[in-house]
């Protein structure tokens, strides 16, 4: 039986965190290829350290893009705001080691004859939704993301005292299974030389107060800003970054299960990404339709196989309909083959760089098709089915 009274914590990291720098570069490369060929294949990994960016992986698509790939890396770092001695968009060395996709992988994924397109890899993927926030996301990760986004907006708007690298952590008290207040808030943010801890604290405070619901702020003793006292050296100069190391930040902050793979740097034939998006889409529509207050969906795939091996649904005792019937209805409403997911959510578009910071879920769908998996366009059909 689940606990009803507890404290749960989630963390987020900013766009300037070393790992997120790498995620954004990798997804920028995905967008570069998809913009030229919607069916390009990309598996791109990025490493960033002191004034050096290394890009590696496998691709199939337009050739001769080496200069453009370097441009993606530099433009991404510039947009984030890194113009520091140890990491600068203009002076960092960029090395690219992308090479052709393995033919052994390609033959399993490609459609041929009577064979439909197969999954790009084996794996399990999860989607989740709940009623804790308007965007049907768990509250701790929702507020952790928004604190950092508010700080980033202020920095881009001219607050020079803040640097690009930052982390947040929000602990919420739950009563009868519902969040009621913050018990602690942690924010560590890179800052200008000469700024003391108290000054940074007062820069951060209004952003936390703005994001949390009224009356939710923790007491002063549990409001931690730059607990070490100093955070001047940051970003890849302070700590090396890699693509795919912030998978819990990318999803549900630990409030729901996570599959085995990261998202960034992967084109939509990779079910690590596309099936996780599909699972979130279905779970969100289930909750949005009022069929449950919480919904977890697991999908599983085998490389080269065109259909999911399993579809598991758990409404954690909050469901108002039969879960077995719900599983059948969802399969009828959405083709969960890799091709079916891509076509339903229209994923073969350059829409991925924007996903690589502040979460892949709980975002507002864009007019150009970005965050299509956040739409609630199955709600009416689900209501009719039940």
Structural domains of the chain ordered from first start: 6-12+139-234 (3.30.300.10), 123-131+268-385 (3.30.300.10)
**Is 17 annotated as contributing to ligand binding?**
yes
How many Cβ atoms from other residues are within 10 Å of residue 69's Cβ?
Answer: 20
Is residue 19 a known part of a binding site? yes
Tell me the two tokens of residue 36.
């030229």
Q: At what angle do helices 338-345 and 271-288 cross, to 10 degrees?
A: 60
pLDDT tier, 347 (very low <50, low <70, confident <90, very high otherwise): very high
Residue 284 is labelled as binding a ligand? no
- Has 246 been labeled as part of a binding site? yes
Is 101 annotated to bind a ligand? Reply is yes
How many distinct helices (H) and strands (E) make up the chain?
11, 13
Confidence of residue 367 (pLDDT cuts 50, 70, 90): very high
CA 234, 236, 242: angle at the middle one, nearest 5?
135
Tokens of 42: 């990309």
pLDDT, residue 117, reads 75
- Catalytic residue list: 17, 19-20, 45, 58, 167, 231, 239-240, 245-246, 266, 270, 272
pLDDT averaged over every residue in the chain: 94
* 221 labeled part of a ligand binding site: no
Mean pLDDT of 343-362: 98
Please give the full DSSP string across 280-337, using - where no structure is assigned: HHHHHHHHHTTS-SEEEEEEEE-BT-SS-SEEEEE-TT--SS-HHHHHHHHHHHS--S
Is residue 165 annotated as involved in ligand binding? yes
Q: What is the mean pLDDT of the segment spanning 104-128?
A: 71
Determine whether the annotation assigns residue 230 to a binding site.
yes
- What Rg value do the Cα atoms of the chain yield, rounded? 21
* 236 HSE (CA, 13 A, CB side): 31
Given a cut of 90, whether residue 118 has pLDDT beyond it is no
Question: Is 222 marked as binding a ligand?
Answer: no
pLDDT digits (tens, 9 = 90+) for 155-206: 999 999 999 999 999 999 999 999 999 999 999 999 999 999 999 999 999 9
pLDDT band for position 1 (50/70/90)? very low
pLDDT for position 304: 84
Residue 262 labeled ligand binder: yes
Mean pLDDT of 100-118: 62
107 pLDDT above the threshold of 90: no
pLDDT tens sequence across 15-48: 999 999 999 999 999 999 999 999 999 999 999 9
Task: Return d(Cα 330, Cα 333) in angstroms, integer.
Answer: 5
The answer on pLDDT for 110 being more than 80 is no
339 annotated as belonging to a binding site for a ligand:
no
How long, in residues, is the chain?
386
| pLDDT, position 113 | 54
| Joined tokens for residue 382 | 């689900």
58 a known binding residue? yes
């Amino acid at each position: 039986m689940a606990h009803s009274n507890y404290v749960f914590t989630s963390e987020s990291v900013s766009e300037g965190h070393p790992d997120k720098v790498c995620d954004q570069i990798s997804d920028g490369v995905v967008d570069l290829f998809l913009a030229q060929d919607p069916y390009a294949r990309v598996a791109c990994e990025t490493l960033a350290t002191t004034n050096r960016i290394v890009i590696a992986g496998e691709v199939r698509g337009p050739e001769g893009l080496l200069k453009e790939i370097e441009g993606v890396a530099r433009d991404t770092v510039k947009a984030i705001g890194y113009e520091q001695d140890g990491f600068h968009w203009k002076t960092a060395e960029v090395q690219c080691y992308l090479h052709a996709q393995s033919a052994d992988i390609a033959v399993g994924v490609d459609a041929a004859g009577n064979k439909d397109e197969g999954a790009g890899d084996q794996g399990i993927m999860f989607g989740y939704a709940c009623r804790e926030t308007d965007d049907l996301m768990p509250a701790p990760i929702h507020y952790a993301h928004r604190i950092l986004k508010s700080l980033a907006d202020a920095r881009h708007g001219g607050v020079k005292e803040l640097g690009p690298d930052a982390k947040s952590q929000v602990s919420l008290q739950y009563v009868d299974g519902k969040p009621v207040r913050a018990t602690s808030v942690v924010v560590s943010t890179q800052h200008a030389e000469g700024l003391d801890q108290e000054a940074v604290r007062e820069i951060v405070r209004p952003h936390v107060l703005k994001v949390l619901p009224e009356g939710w702020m923790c007491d002063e003793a549990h409001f931690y800003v730059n607990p070490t006292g100093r955070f001047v050296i940051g970003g890849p100069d302070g700590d090396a970054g890699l693509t795919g190391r912030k998978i819990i930040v990318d999803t549900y902050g630990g409030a729901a299960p996570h599959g085995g793979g990261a998202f960034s740097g992967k084109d939509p034939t990779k079910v690590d990404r596309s099936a996780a998006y599909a699972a979130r889409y279905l779970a969100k529509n289930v909750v949005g339709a009022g069929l449950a207050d919480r919904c977890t969906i697991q999908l599983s795939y085998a490389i080269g196989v065109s259909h999911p091996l399993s579809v598991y649904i758990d409404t954690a005792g909050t469901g108002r309909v039969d879960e077995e019937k719900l599983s059948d209805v969802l399969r009828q409403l959405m083709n969960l083959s890799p091709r079916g997911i891509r076509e339903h959510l229209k994923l073969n578009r350059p829409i991925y760089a924007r996903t690589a910071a502040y979460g892949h879920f709980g975002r507002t769908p864009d007019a150009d098709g970005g965050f299509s998996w956040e739409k609630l366009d199955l709600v009416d059909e689900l209501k009719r089915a039940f």
